[in-house]
A and B are shown apart, each in its own frame.
Chain A
Amino acid sequence: MKSISGIPASYGIAIGPAFVFARVEIVIEPCNIQDPDKEWNRFMEAQETTFQQLDKAYLKAQAELGDEEAGIFGAQKLMMQDPELIQTVKFRVESELINVETALYETAEAFATQLEAIEDEYLSARALDIRDVSSRCLRNLMGLKDSPAEGLIVPSIITAQDMTPSDTVLLNKDLVLGFCTEVGGSTSHTAILARGLGIPAVVGAGEALRKIKTGDSLVVDGDSGEIVIDADKKSLKEFKKRQESFLKIQADAEAISHQPAITTDGHQVEVVANIGSVDDVQPALLSGAEGVGLLRSEFLYLERSSLPTEEEQYQSYKTIADAFGDRPVILRSLDVGGDKDIPYIDMPEETNPFLGVRAIRLCLIRPDLFKPQLRAALRAGYGNNLKLMFPMVATVEDVEKVREVLEECKQELRDEGYDVAEQMEIGIMIEIPSAAVMADQLAGVVDFFSIGTNDLSQYTMAADRTNAEVATLASGFQPAVFRLIKMVIDAAHTNGKWVGLCGEMAGELLAIPILMGLGLDEFSMNPPAIPFAKRLIRSISHEKAKQVAEHVLQLKSDSEIREYIKTEIPEVDPKEL
């Protein structure tokens, strides 16, 4: 029995065989070819596939890890379209009549070697990038699987150096019992993914993990950060006991997940899901979601080379909205721009993309993007409870402009003879401090608000949430942010409107009592968090939550708030329930 310790990143105990996630070497077989044009076409196709994979990885990395990690994929794309690289490959294929795999491999390798020769940490990392992206293109050329993830066939604990979004996107999540990685912290991609899936994880366990081989018997303790190889009978029994007690908590939560979220003193709130595709509908329904508080529409725009048509959008929105029947589904209009790049949407380069032409700002100047989406939504919402919500609203004028376009679309659709959701509710995201401050006026022009705490926190605190140096400032447990949330809720309620919250905070057990005490009406979160959130809400009183929230507004810091909540409402720890 051996033990390795790392950073606990996601609750629970996993017991099972190890699956070592290691990249497969690509073996290039040099050969001669007859038709250089044909060979070149093969390359162009593989290059295009590579671009699409990188774009997808970019957006996913950006959503899950932030701009810096996402930037790696941007740089890799630039390398894969480098004229020196491309011309050298083309020249060699045409003049030497060799297969493009050989030409690409050798050319990329030559560049990597040159970069490595200059002794510089940054350039060595770029050498890895050119190797990584050329291997990706080679795999596409050779029709090889994108990832070692394909080898996972029995339920296992994944051990890896680290995992990138393009790795995990391909994992069969049903076969993953737990994760352990050599590098990374509690906000690394693996950690976030594990929490999202509700499976245990230990990260940053160091090179000691390399001793583990596929099939080794492992225990991963996501509470303490311990990884045990070949646990002896006695400790295995102990771990199994703890695993059972955790699973019991989970089962308890799941058992009540389809009951309403009502406090002990009869106050009911809505618990709904954040989803990002048609595939997410079933898991959301199974987890007890009472609707969808955030349907990200970006999925329709990825992995393709032109805009989705109105008809395609209509089909997807309608499928999702119909699946929830009369329960609400809130569609968020396209939230890209600035730094979130979709290759076929021509967007200006900006020095400060977070403060630039993002989301609704882009849509308002690009009717070719905006109108098909609005038309699709208005058509899809006929006969169900689809609502529309707009991100990055800063002023009342923004809403007025949106409403104008919306009316225009409605009129067009009526003229064309379509059934239109005439009474569709229109809401906005509150994620810019100006919108929170002006909430009383905004409440007069919309039907509901949904607070986006991730962006609201970083804009309020002037702190990039992906920058570790200032991450705690942007964490969302800032008294200033809670005060803004209170302003927003009060302004909405005075005007007879309701307020939801679809940021990370909605699913955080520590935050739920505070938000409920402040009067939040709707909590929108990732599906795995729903049973736990409902279980907590059903075990506390609204009266107590109100008192606690009142006091929180008077506290001075993130840590003070967290400590206070843990003391006042011990139920926020799932084990205490």
Chain B
Amino acid sequence: MPETTITITHEVGLHARPASMFVQTAAKYSSDIEVTHGEKTVNAKSILAVLTLGAHKDAQIIIKAEGADADEALKALEELVADNFGEN
């Protein structure tokens, strides 16, 4: 299962608008996508679950994807986070 580790640089962390964008991006892909922060792993397409990760600024998250478009999905999510959720 392809995976990637990335650090959240956005001021508000994986909350508010960044969390919505993250979930909406993940939802565009058919693959199963998981996101891990610390010991907690959740469905990346669930806003409620992603919020409970409590991933603040500088948190390291691991994204895993499995399915037909897993690579594209990972790439899109990675870019979203790296691009500071479009605020760079």
Whether A123 lies near B54 (C-beta < 8 A) is yes
Docked CA distance A82–B87 (Å): 25
We find that the number of chain B residues with CB closer than 8 angstroms to chain A is 20
Which listed residue, A74, A115, A349, A351, touches B51 by the CB 8 Å rule?
A115
Whether A114 lies near B54 (C-beta < 8 A) is no
Question: Quick one: closest A residue to B53, CB to CB?
Answer: A118
Whether A123 lies near B86 (C-beta < 8 A) is no
- For residue B24, CB closer than 8 A to chain A, the reply is yes
Docked CA distance A126–B16 (Å): 9
User: Which 10 interchain pairs have the tightest Cβ spacing?
Assistant: A84-B46, A351-B86, A111-B48, A78-B47, A118-B54, A82-B46, A114-B52, A82-B48, A84-B49, A83-B45
- For residue B36, CB closer than 8 A to chain A, the reply is no
Residues of B near A123 (CB, < 8 A) are 15, 51-52, 54
- For residue B20, CB closer than 8 A to chain A, the reply is yes
- For residue A79, CB closer than 8 A to chain B, the reply is yes
Contacts A/B (CB < 8 Å), 26 sampled: A74-B20, A75-B47, A78-B20, A79-B47, A82-B47, A83-B43, A83-B46, A84-B42, A84-B43, A84-B48, A84-B49, A85-B46, A111-B48, A111-B52, A114-B52, A115-B52, A122-B15, A122-B16, A123-B15, A123-B51, A123-B52, A123-B54, A126-B51, A130-B48, A351-B86, A351-B87
- For residue B23, CB closer than 8 A to chain A, the reply is yes
Docked CA distance A349–B87 (Å): 14
Starting from the known contacts A78-B24, A114-B52, 17 additional A-B residue pairs (CB-CB under 8 Å) come to A78-B20, A78-B47, A79-B47, A82-B46, A82-B47, A82-B48, A82-B49, A83-B46, A84-B42, A84-B43, A85-B46, A85-B48, A115-B51, A115-B52, A118-B54, A123-B51, A351-B86
Residues of B near A115 (CB, < 8 A) are 48, 51-52
Report A209-252 CB contacts with B as 1/0, cut-off 8 Å: 00000000000000000000000000000000000000000000
Docked CA distance A351–B47 (Å): 20
Question: Quick one: closest A residue to B44, CB to CB?
Answer: A83
Residues of B near A118 (CB, < 8 A) are 52, 54
On chain A, which size bracket covers the interface? 20 to 34
- For residue A120, CB closer than 8 A to chain B, the reply is yes
CB distance from B10 to the nearest CB of A (A): 13
Docked CA distance A84–B54 (Å): 17
Residues of B near A122 (CB, < 8 A) are 12, 15-16
Residues of B near A349 (CB, < 8 A) are 21, 24
Residues of A near B16 (CB, < 8 A) are 122
Residues of A near B49 (CB, < 8 A) are 82, 84
Docked CA distance A186–B67 (Å): 52
Q: Which B8-48 residues have a C-beta within 8 angstroms of A?
A: 12, 15-17, 20-21, 23-24, 42-43, 45-48
Report A39-52 CB contacts with B as 1/0, cut-off 8 Å: 00000000000000
Which listed residue, A78, A85, A120, touches B23 by the CB 8 Å rule?
A78
Docked CA distance A118–B54 (Å): 7
Which listed residue, B17, B42, B54, touches A120 by the CB 8 Å rule?
B54
Report A110-133 CB contacts with B as 1/0, cut-off 8 Å: 010011001010110010001000
CB distance from A109 to the nearest CB of B (A): 12
Docked CA distance A82–B46 (Å): 5
Q: Which B54-71 residues have a C-beta within 8 angstroms of A?
A: 54
CB distance from B81 to the nearest CB of A (A): 15
- Most A CB contacts (10 A, CB to CB) among B17, B20, B52 go to B52
Residues of A near B23 (CB, < 8 A) are 78
Residues of A near B51 (CB, < 8 A) are 115, 123, 126
Question: Quick one: closest A residue to B47, CB to CB?
Answer: A78
Residues of B near A130 (CB, < 8 A) are 48
Docked CA distance A100–B59 (Å): 37
Docked CA distance A78–B87 (Å): 21
Report A318-359 CB contacts with B as 1/0, cut-off 8 Å: 000000000000000000000000000000010100000000
- Most B CB contacts (10 A, CB to CB) among A83, A85, A118, A351 go to A83
Docked CA distance A83–B44 (Å): 10
CB distance from A307 to the nearest CB of B (A): 23
CB distance from B46 to the nearest CB of A (A): 4
Docked CA distance A211–B13 (Å): 40
- Most B CB contacts (10 A, CB to CB) among A74, A79, A82 go to A82
Question: Quick one: closest A residue to B12, CB to CB?
Answer: A122
Question: Quick one: closest B residue to A117, CB to CB?
Answer: B52
CB distance from A182 to the nearest CB of B (A): 25
Whether B48 lies near A79 (C-beta < 8 A) is yes
CB distance from A267 to the nearest CB of B (A): 50
Residues of A near B86 (CB, < 8 A) are 351
Residues of A near B43 (CB, < 8 A) are 83-84
Residues of B near A82 (CB, < 8 A) are 46-49
Residues of B near A351 (CB, < 8 A) are 86-87
Residues of A near B20 (CB, < 8 A) are 74-75, 78
CB distance from A227 to the nearest CB of B (A): 35
- Most B CB contacts (10 A, CB to CB) among A115, A118, A126 go to A126
Docked CA distance A351–B85 (Å): 9
Docked CA distance A541–B52 (Å): 64
Docked CA distance A83–B47 (Å): 9
Docked CA distance A85–B54 (Å): 18
Docked CA distance A16–B17 (Å): 43
Residues of A near B87 (CB, < 8 A) are 351
Docked CA distance A342–B7 (Å): 34
CB distance from A85 to the nearest CB of B (A): 6
Residues of A near B48 (CB, < 8 A) are 79, 82, 84-85, 111, 115, 130
Residues of B near A126 (CB, < 8 A) are 51
Residues of B near A78 (CB, < 8 A) are 20, 23-24, 47
Residues of A near B12 (CB, < 8 A) are 122
Question: Quick one: closest A residue to B86, CB to CB?
Answer: A351
CB distance from B56 to the nearest CB of A (A): 9
Docked CA distance A123–B52 (Å): 8
Report A77-90 CB contacts with B as 1/0, cut-off 8 Å: 01100111100000
CB distance from A299 to the nearest CB of B (A): 27
Report A477-507 CB contacts with B as 1/0, cut-off 8 Å: 0000000000000000000000000000000
